[in-house]
Homo-oligomer: A and B are copies of this chain.
Amino acid sequence: MADTPLDLTLDAAALTARLVDFRSESGAEKPLADAIEIALRALPHLTVDRLGNNIVARTHLGRAQRVVLAGHIDTVPIAGNVPSRLDEDGVLWGCGTCDMKSGVAVQLRIAATVPAPNRDLTFLFYEAEEIESEFNGLHLLSQSDPDLLQADFAILMEPSDAVIEAGCQGTLRIAVTTRGERAHSARSWMGVNAIHQAGAILDRLNAYEARKPVIDGLEYHEGLNAVFISGGVAGNVLPDVCTVQINHRFAPDRSEAEAAAYVREFFAGFEVELTDTAPGALPGLDRPAAKEFIEAVGGEVNPKFGWTDVARFSALGVPAVNFGPGDPMLAHKQEEFVPVEQVYRCESVLTTWLGA
């Protein structure tokens, strides 16, 4: 272990600060996973399983419902923003304050302070959410041990400004490529410039109009954006290839296959390669567990635009929402912060809802 264990008697804000200072960039989660495991094993009302740097802690009280509280323990690379700093306005600054060690702190506080909840609880702390999907701890567990994740409802404690965000949009990436013919740029009429041809791809993107379907009363908002463009051989050569990498975000009323068909049709006539795809998640707000939680939080629900791991729970048949402290727009920013008031509020809402 690289550090001392965690003290779960700290309040949720102090515990957030402690977790932020306990560096855990993706790929280097082990010391923090060790500390969390030790802290949880000290709690007699929980059983603890560990797989890799993923920790699953559960109550076994025979309740009618089981609820998952999930959070990832890794962060994006630290950018001079550790250690954390609490300012005089009650704002905690630092890498992971928002995404999502404040959510993890709330999970740990509930684990420590609600030994007899009115619903059985499964606490999931997982690794590698900020990097390629193949390393994602929740993904790996959903493949290797889906039973550990079974529940009536899941709350993913990603930042949502302490408001419920339901469902999530799907995401897919395509590479749209033009092919020309190389020639020396001094005799350009001998070739075909693939970058010039890509103008027609950008023209289509500029003509795109986003669909905004309403699902379960929530208005989603799709998107179609170039995220990379590249082409070029040398400063005196007409390029023969130009590739535009495009990210499509689609509302959860469309499947991955439907979204893929849409972009292929949109770029009809071009060479289109599907490189990455992940399904959206329907809000599922008609499920009893979801309804009860919405009521406990006060009724406000927003649509989730970004893709999150709620889709992985959806795929397992577990309705899931995002609910956690911090502004999701601050995730991955150097100037990331969380208002400690939101940390306390999330803890309080959950504690009350769980009947403590």
> Which A residues lie at the B interface, using CB under 8 A?
169, 171, 173, 184-190, 193, 195-196, 198-199, 202-203, 205-206, 210, 221, 223, 225-239, 242, 244-245, 247, 249, 276, 305-307, 329
Contact = CB atoms under 8 A, between A and B. Distances in A.
Contacts of A276: 235
Given A186-B305, A249-B185, A306-B184, A227 B239 contact: yes
A231 B229 contact: yes
Nearest to A191: B225
Given A186-B307, A232-B227, A306-B186, A202 B196 contact: yes
B238 A245 contact: no
A267 to B, nearest CB: 14
Given A195-B227, A228-B239, 11 more contacts: A185-B225, A185-B249, A193-B225, A199-B203, A199-B205, A202-B202, A227-B233, A227-B239, A229-B229, A229-B232, A230-B230
Residue in A184, A188, A234, A249 whose Cβ sees the most chain B Cβ within 10 Å: A188
B237 A227 contact: yes
Given A196-B225, A227-B238, A186 B232 contact: no
Contacts of A202: 195-196, 198-199, 202
A242 to B, nearest CB: 6
10 contacts: A185-B247, A186-B223, A196-B205, A196-B225, A198-B202, A198-B229, A226-B231, A227-B233, A227-B236, A229-B229
A232 to B, nearest CB: 3
Contact of A235 (B185, B195, B228): B228
A62 to B, nearest CB: 40
A205 B195 CA distance: 10
A229 B180 CA distance: 15
A202 B225 CA distance: 17
A186 B205 contact: no
B223 A227 contact: no
Contacts of A305: 186-187
A274 to B, nearest CB: 14
Given A199-B202, A228-B231, A185 B223 contact: yes
A82 to B, nearest CB: 21
Contacts of A242: 229
A92 to B, nearest CB: 22
A154 to B, nearest CB: 20
Nearest to A242: B229
| 9 shortest interchain CB distances as A-B pairs | A199-B202, A228-B232, A186-B306, A195-B226, A188-B223, A186-B305, A185-B247, A229-B231, A195-B229
Nearest to A194: B226
A230 B229 CA distance: 5
A95 to B, nearest CB: 17
A199 B197 CA distance: 10
A39 B324 CA distance: 81
A264 B237 CA distance: 22
A75 to B, nearest CB: 16
Contacts of A198: 202, 229
Nearest to A226: B195
Contacts of A185: 171, 223, 225, 227, 247, 249
